[in-house]
Chains A and B, each alone.
Chain A
Amino acid sequence: MSEPFGNPLLVVPDAPGPHQPRSGRRGSGFLDGPLRLGTTPSATVGPYLAIGMTWPDGAWAAEEGTAGAFWIRGRILDGAGDLVADAMVETWQADPDGGFASPEDPRGAASYPGFRGFARSHTADPPGEFAVHTLKPGRVPDGDGGLQAPHIDVSVFARGILDRVVMRIYFADEAEANAEDAVLRALPEDRRSTLLATPADDGYRLDIHLQGERETVFFAV
């Protein structure tokens, strides 16, 4: 098998490529259409992501001892039902008042004591399990005059996944808010539960199924 991937033309340049960001039309003052640089294609994190992507304080979106903080834990499972012990889960969310620790929020960057909004958890220990220490996010506007239910945006990276996959964590004990949430309402009823974390001893639990009968609802962002 000399050419297992069967593409003799390996590299087809386009223009302007990312190596020539300064080329192309400029200075004319007119653009006859959107002029965009091509985005860099993603690649798998591979099996050794722990070298570059783990932080000692990674799991702590909320610092230890923050009032109201809890753990969200869960397993990552593949299509055979086996644990995925070399994945990375990253979470991003609003604080309990519905603010984001980000200058990109047009309402202004929020600051909430002891809270970072972001966490990342490798799934090596215990194998296949992630854990983030956080606070329940508040409700934030949905852009159509309503409020979203409390939710956390999640990226999952792993060997064997070439581009991150994105899901949301909602909370099973927020039934009233969940019933009003535009994103949840647009999903078939029998699939919504794949995004609902359920109360547990020290917080909440939600397993992420990459494939299978209970494949998690993943989003294209």
Chain B
Amino acid sequence: MTGTTSVGGPHLPRYHREDAALRTPVGFPDYRSTALRAPLRTPVDLAHRLTEVTGPVLGEDRVLPHDADLTLRNGGEAVGQRILVHGRVLDSDGRAVPGALVEVWQANAAGRYRHVGDSFPAPLDPHFDGLGRVVTDSLGRYEFMTVKPGAYPWGNHHNAWRPAHIHFSLFGRAFTQRLVTQMYFPDDPLFGQDPIFNAMPAAARHRAISRFSLERTQENWALAFEWDIVLRGSDQTPFETDDDGDVA
């Protein structure tokens, strides 16, 4: 496999597909709402042509200055444990993905979403809307300040609780790289009973869990968690980094 296909002359990348044993399935029986929503037929393989290897350029024009600090809304400070969430967006070839739009949303510190559909009787926070947006820098790095989200109940099964998590939506360079996922926190005791966490194959679950990052904690201000996100690569560049982790 050369990693490229010819399209009337120019060579196109062919994006590597993770082994099925390491990908989240579209449906999972213990997550009950997948029963009527996850398609049942085997998807048809689609070769990567121009539409699949290109993608929209969504950068700073989609982001406002306050979007990187979720703790300041409506002229006041959100309640909760302040945390800095940071990391890199890479592709599976080890290349940084610069200029990538990262959209995040989450519950407040009490586990309540600012959404008409959320009826959990936990307080809303007038100074927290749960929306953040950032663009990765030239080395693929992102960071945002927020409060640690609370766990929240849902109706999937008796006494079901979602582990604390932050939703992430990522655009890489190409349609094939699009990813929506959730970031978890280390050692959450709720992992064992959560079918959304357990739908991820056991061998891939650790990739969704952030790492406590003592080195980025801010003295007298905030804790920090690090989470690197890996999008699909295309065999275009050998994996080779220098000691700073920069792509050589």
A1-37 interface mask toward B, CB cutoff 8 Å, 1 = contact, 0 = none?
A: 1011101011111100111011010100001001111
A residues in contact (CB < 8 Å) with B: 1, 3-5, 7, 9-14, 17-19, 21-22, 24, 26, 31, 34-53, 55, 78-80, 82, 84, 86, 90, 92-94, 100-107, 109, 116-118, 140-143, 145, 148, 151, 153, 155, 157-166, 168, 183, 186-187, 210-211, 215-221
Query: Is B179 interfacial (CB-CB < 8 Å)?
Result: yes
Q: Are A34 and B202 in contact (CB under 8 A)?
A: no
B134-163 interface mask toward A, CB cutoff 8 Å, 1 = contact, 0 = none?
A: 000000000000000000000001100000
- Give Cα A85 to B18, complex, Å: 30
Q: Are A19 and B54 in contact (CB under 8 A)?
A: no
Q: Are A51 and B54 in contact (CB under 8 A)?
A: no
Q: Are B181 and A43 in contact (CB under 8 A)?
A: yes
| CB contact between B104 and one of A4, A38, A52, A102 (< 8 Å): that residue | A52
Query: Is B36 interfacial (CB-CB < 8 Å)?
Result: yes
| CB contact between A104 and one of B23, B93, B173 (< 8 Å): that residue | B173
Q: Are A38 and B18 in contact (CB under 8 A)?
A: yes
17 pairs of residues in contact across A and B, judged by CB atoms under 8 Å: A11-B191, A21-B228, A38-B18, A48-B118, A51-B130, A52-B131, A100-B50, A102-B56, A105-B54, A141-B49, A145-B8, A148-B51, A155-B175, A160-B36, A219-B44, A220-B46, A221-B15
Which residues on A sit within 8 Å (CB–CB) of B209?
A: 11
Size of the B side of the interface (Cβ < 8 Å), in residues, is 113
Q: Are A14 and B8 in contact (CB under 8 A)?
A: no
Given contacts A104-B174, A160-B31, A38 and B92 within 8 Å (CB-CB): yes
| CB contact between A94 and one of B11, B50, B91, B113 (< 8 Å): that residue | B50
Query: Quick one: closest B residue to A10, CB to CB?
Result: B191
Query: Quick one: closest B residue to A219, CB to CB?
Result: B46
Q: Are B50 and A43 in contact (CB under 8 A)?
A: no
Query: Is B55 interfacial (CB-CB < 8 Å)?
Result: yes
- Give Cα A1 to B181, complex, Å: 28
Query: Quick one: closest A residue to B62, CB to CB?
Result: A55
| CB contact between A52 and one of B54, B167, B198, B231 (< 8 Å): that residue | B167
- Give Cα A152 to B41, complex, Å: 21
